[in-house]
Structure 1
Amino acid sequence: MADQKADSEIHQDQKATAGDKHKTEAENPDAKRTKVEEEEEALPSERNGDGKEKEGDASQDVKEEPADSKPDIKFENNTTEPEKEDTDVPSSILEKGIIYFFIRGRVDVEKAEQVDDIARTFIILRPIAHDAKLSEGPLRDAGNTRILILPKKVLPSSGRERFLSFVEKSGASYDEVKGQFLAGEEYETKTKGTRHTPAATPIGEGVYAITTTGRESHLVYLLTLPQKLGEVQEALNLKEQGSFIISTKNPEYPAPASVRLPKGPVYPKKIHEEFRDLRWIPSRPHHLDYDNTQILLIGESSGIKKALTPQREDENANKEGPLEFMEELEEEDLKRMKDMPGDSSASIYADLKAHAEDYPKLQTTF
């Protein structure tokens, strides 16, 4: 396992900009599931010898990605133009949506009896438009679902814990989520014969937001399911309310061998220029629209308060605070999930257009 010591903290002095609302549909959804055996536990230096931050040249020559590799951006009104910004949304909210947490057992382990039985933990993000309300029933398939892998299995719970994750699949349809992610599979090996990879098991569902506090970006979530956390959630550091500082890795810098992906993200020139010559920058929603984007999650022991700090301009305009905004979103989701038929598992799978009887139930105990 990589055990490198950091020379300094992640660069977080970049000014935040409001994220565009968008939905993504991938034209070539045939990427294989990649595996990372270990995660990066320390950050490389972003400072010169004099302790000052290195300032990159945004005009550096970066090769433009091929046009056919760019995601096809679709918006809520099914046009290629962005919707009018909802001025009532707190300016710190870059994106909102529904979040799901899943685990997958090791090969031939159908049900995890302890953390060591888990091969991977997954986060599924389903963005929704800024001005959208959560109505009754399952979410429609917008083809913009993202699947993130957490090789560490557990979520970081304090600033001392920094775990690397990556986007396994972006712009996924529900059919892709079911076929390439939820389902288990069997395969043949020369030495051990038939092996079985178990289906993914849900451990939680809720609402999320990607926020900016000016110097940092955060992924904050409020769980709606399960209604009472069990030992599985506690063992994986999943809370009723939680948040992480999130930073995106510059693919121009090599990662340690133990956490290096076979293939990096294919970013357009615009995103390359955001990095300048920095190794890490505060994450933005559009970073997650590219397969193999590497995201560092840093735990926040203070809970969601910092991630939902009101912006001064919003307070001056008497706007609703980001905490109240998230609580209203949580109430909408609670009502929506409560009104859906079946138990918690059925509600989660209905959202993903899958039949609950074909997959494991929501797990709260080992």
Structure 2
Amino acid sequence: MPPKKHTSTSKEENKAASNKEVKDQPEDAVEDKEDVGSKRKPDEKTEEPPQKKEKTSAVGEDIVKDKSESVDESKKAHSLEKGHIYFFYRPKVDADEVGSIDDVQKAYMILKPYWSSDAKRSPTLIVLGKKKLPQVEQHARYWGFVGKTSSNIDDVVGALKESTYSTKTKGERTIQAARPMGEGVYTITSHNGHSHLAYILTLPEEPTKVQDAFNIEKQASIVLNVKNPKKSSPPGSGLSGNEKAEFPDKLQKAFSDRRFVAMETTDFLNYDYCELVMIGATEDLDKELGKTAKDLEKMEEKDEDHVDYVGVDKVVFKDLHLEADQNPVAPLKEWK
């Protein structure tokens, strides 16, 4: 009888059949089978299939990118207004000479806009509470208000000129003219839910002891909040009596029932007695405001050319229609 043939498949044939079966399956099925069925040695590393890894990586990058763009957009500073800024102080009536801030009666900040996101903005004189700007390093909070706003710059700077008044006991007395102590450029921006007044000084080139006394930096950013005139003021601050801003309904509604709001529109500054809370923010404009800070730097460069053309001793008076003999320019560098 011939020998009986073996019907069992050899190991080589089994392996070949197995490989054929695997090749005929979809690629995903192969990956699943290898992940679930294979046993690996403890020190054996397994890499994720390239196609799957690339897909996961691409999706992840899209998510991160979209999130990053969203955050940057929400924090982006948007310019509301641009213009020239001026700082003045007025000596006390009895002060023959001014040697420190103790001899100063009032300090002013004048904004002369040349561009605004609102339809119309007028030059504005702001009276500084505590006779100075808030300290940036300490994030101090100081109060101020719009003393005068008008489309006619002569009306605005009228408060800076010399004047006289009479008293029963001392007769006629003279209120000395205000002295300029700084000139530069500014922008008001809406930024991350609040508003900033950012400025860069052109004159003087670097702050002196005069500017230091009023916390006027070479450049700085100050947070601006507007007070609701229908709400009471904290003790020791704010205007009283009839000295309250009368905003139109569209501006008054912005407060709702709040005492303060961010300045989302500079139209607030078009109204006398608009009360402000100013908070020192930072000297690092690039970090705080990004591209808006770069725009402000370009404005300052143009202002330097303007100052050089008109003259250091003349530019403030020419811009504001003031008389140099009444408003001495010396405080730009020293007390006067």
Same fold (TM over 0.5): yes
Structure 1 pair 91–217 and aligned structure 2 pair: CA distance change class (3 A): closer
What residue is the counterpart of 1:38 in the other structure?
none
Q: Is the 8 A contact 1:104 1:200 kept in 2?
A: yes
> What residue in structure 1 maps to residue 293 of structure 2?
323
Which of residues 257, 264, 279 is equivalent to 1:298?
A: 279
The 2-side partners of 1:233 and 1:362 are apart by 12
1:180-200 deviation line (CA, Å, top 9, x unaligned): 222111211112222221101
CA distance in 1, matches of 2:121, 2:227: 25
What is the number of equivalent residue pairs in this alignment?
Answer: 253
Which structure 2 residues correspond to residues 98-117 of structure 1 after superposition, within 5 A? Answer: 98-117=84-103
- For normalisation by structure 2, the TM-score amounts to 0.71
Which amino acid is the alignment partner of residue 306 of structure 2?
R
Aligned to 2:334: 365
Query: Which of 195, 205, 208 pairs up with 2:183?
Result: 205
CA 1:130 to 1:294, structure 2 compared with 1: closer, same or farther past 3 Å?
Answer: closer
Is residue 2:192 matched to residue 1:214?
yes
Q: 1:192 aligns with which of 144, 160, 170?
A: 170
Bigger radius of gyration: 2
1:238-276 deviation line (CA, Å, top 9, x unaligned): 111011111000111111464333321111111111001
Is 1:143–1:173's contact at 8 Å kept on the other side of the alignment? no
Whether 2:148 is the aligned partner of 1:169: answer yes
Indicate conservation of the 8 Å contact 1:105/1:118, yes or no.
yes
Percent identity of paired positions between Structure 1 and Structure 2? 33
Relative to structure 1, the CA distance from residue 286 to residue 127 in structure 2 (aligned partners, 3 Å threshold; closer, same or farther) is same
Measure, in 2, the Cα distance between the counterparts of 1:230 and 1:129: 30
Aligned 1:232-271 pairs, distance under 5 A? 232-256=210-234, 258-259=236-237, 260-262=239-241, 263-271=243-251
Corresponding letter in the other structure for 1:281? V
Query: How do residues 113-128 of structure 1 correspond to structure 2 at under 5 angstroms?
Result: 113-128=99-114
Displacement of 1:305 in angstroms is 3.9
Q: How many angstroms apart in 2 are the aligned matches of 1:274 and 1:334?
A: 38
Q: Which has the higher contact order (CA 8 A, sep 6+)?
A: 1
Pairwise CA RMSD: 2.1
Q: Quote the offset at 1:110 in angstroms.
A: 4.8
Q: 1:177 to 1:270 in 2, by over 3 A?
A: closer
The CA deviation at 1:157 is 1.3
* Residues 161/196 of structure 1: CA separation in 2 closer, same or farther (3 Å cut): same
For structure 1, the 5+ residue unaligned runs are 1-89, 132-141, 310-320
| Cα distance in 2 for residues equivalent to 1:279 and 1:211 | 21
Specify which structure has the higher proportion of helix.
Answer: 2
Aligned-partner SS, 1:296:
strand
Aligned to 2:268: 287
Q: CA contact under 8 A between 2:139 and 2:280: conserved in structure 1?
A: yes
Contact 2:195–2:262 at 8 Å: present in 1 too? Answer: yes
Distance change >3 Å, CA 334–CA 112, structure 1 → 2: same
Alpha-carbon offset, residue 362 of structure 1: 3.7
For the Cα contact (< 8 Å) 1:100–1:204, is it kept in 2?
Answer: yes
Query: TM-score normalized by structure 1?
Result: 0.65
Alpha-carbon distance between aligned partners in 2 of 1:143 and 1:195, rounded to the nearest angstrom: 35
Would you say 1:336 and 2:306 are equivalent positions? yes
